[in-house]
Chain A
Amino acid sequence: MSKLAIFGGSIVAVLVLALLARLLGLGGARIGSAEEARAAAEAMISGFEGGAVALGSDGRAALVHGGAADAALLKVHGARIAARHLRAPFVTAPASGGLAIDSGDARFGTVVLKGVTAL
């Protein structure tokens, strides 16, 4: 079996499987409640104890305040939630329909809390 045939077949299979996942409607996630955001933050960040929660109205992001001038910034990532641990002061800016929070991580990006105007 030639390597070229294997590579060609593999790349076709990759694209077909990814397309199939989309056609089957797989995936999808949202942060449904403040309690869920708090639980996710505490599970994902070692030692973190969540307090007040600012939850985006679209369920795509949340900021969970901690007890030590810190916070967990959550965003929906694919069908899961990803988190970053932030220390105050938080870098924020008004965004269309909400408040943008800088995660401090270029790849994680800026997260917008829809419907939130202040922390």
Chain B
Amino acid sequence: MPLLFDPVNYAIPGFVALIVVEMLIARTRDRQRYCPRDTLTSLLLGFGSTVSSALTAGLVFAISMWVYQFRFFTIGFAWYWFPVAFVLDDLAYYFAHRTGHRVRWFWASHVIHHSSQHYNLSTALRQTWTGFVSLSFLFRLPLFLIGFHPLMIFFCAGLNLIYQFWIHTETIGRMPRWFEAVMNTPSHHRVHHATNPRYLDRNYAGVFIVWDRLLGTFEAERDDERPRYGIVKDLGSFNLFWAAFHEWVGIAKDVWAAPDLKSRILYMIAPPGWSHDGSRDTSETIKARWEAREQRGIAWKQPTSSSSVEDRAGAPSQAA
């Protein structure tokens, strides 16, 4: 069994260097792409995520090894299994990520990554503190049952995370057409981070956008609709702990105040925005309202924030 390392640790200097480069570009093109307080919040949330992951990594690995003993096959560490493991791990990531947006329990953990109204490389590092609590590691367990060793899968997961860093940017417009067809790109992932009704809950891919194309969740970025980033109800706060835990607090309050057992359960597992009296918006209701407007011929007004109104000249090129 080879001694596999965590590739993310070795990528950190590269992350820092690329953020510096992106900041310098932002200074010349559009200073509002970065905000010092937002950047500090994102990076501290990323730091907290590494600490929480370190605290729970042993337990996750132990659970993984326990599951691995029930494997159907024993897949070795031959080099050709690594690309297979990488692709299957990316498919598992797709389902985990999709669930992270469609089930409130998982969303409570993942929302931290979407809580910035900016979209830059520092946003990529805004990662969850509560991944273990939300049980997101469950989505990788089938890979261990197939027979991939947990060390191999976690190595691939690290590479997957590194890949996803560079796509969190407005600096890059579009990649070559063949690349956009197969791979997740800045353009595809801008859509994923957008709260425009058209873009909500789309493009869950990690590395290969083909999963979204195959499973009906793909939406292309449009030249006439610039993404507006954040969450449907933006935090309006740079408080680290509120960013990390606000949805958990919301779940606790809702479960406490729910009128019956069914509602209590649904406040945990229904899509974000679900409420027992229908008083809140889910992505479906937001999309339905927007589509009704579109059908009535009322143009959905585009931007979004003062920055996006002002910075159109500095927007990434979206020409195909």
Residues of A in contact with B (beta carbons under 8 Å apart): 1, 3, 6-7, 9-11, 13-14, 17-18, 20-22, 24-32, 36, 39-40, 42-44, 46-47, 75-84, 103, 105, 107-109
Q: Is B182 an interface residue (CB 8 A)?
A: no
CB distance from B261 to the nearest CB of A (A): 29
* A79 and B307 within 8 A (CB): yes
Bound-complex Cα distance A115 to B214 (A): 55
Which residues of B are in contact with A by a Cβ distance under 8 Å?
Answer: 9-10, 12, 16, 19-20, 23-24, 26-27, 31-40, 43-44, 46-47, 50-51, 54, 117-118, 122, 195-197, 228, 230, 232, 234-239, 242, 246, 281, 285-286, 289-290, 301-307, 309-310
A1 CB to nearest chain B CB (Å): 5
- Chain B contact residues: over half helix, strand or loop, or mixed? helix
**B236 adjacent to A32 (CB under 8 Å):** no
- Report the minimal beta-carbon distance from A59 to chain B, rounded to whole angstroms: 8
Query: Which residues on the B side are within 8 Å of A80 (C-beta)?
Result: 32, 35, 38, 117-118, 230, 234, 305-307
- B301 near A39 (CB under 8 angstroms)? yes
A29 in contact with B281 (CB, 8 Å): no
Whether B117 lies near A78 (C-beta < 8 A) is: yes
Residues in A neighbouring B9, C-beta threshold 8 A: 1, 6
Sampled A-B contacts (6; CB under 8 Å)? A13-B43, A21-B23, A24-B34, A29-B305, A32-B309, A78-B238
Q: Is the beta-carbon distance between B35 and A26 smaller than 8 angstroms?
A: yes
Given that A26-B33, A27-B36, A39-B302 are contacting pairs, would A10 and B50 also be in contact in the complex, using a CB cutoff of 8 Å? yes
Query: What A residues does B305 contact at CB under 8 A?
Result: 29, 40, 43-44, 80-81
- Structural contact, A36 and B309, CB atoms closer than 8 A: yes
Tell me if A105 and B236 are in contact (CB < 8 A).
yes
* B residues less than 8 Å from A29 (CB atoms): 32, 305-307
Report whether B117 and A18 are in contact in the complex, using a CB–CB cutoff of 8 Å.
no
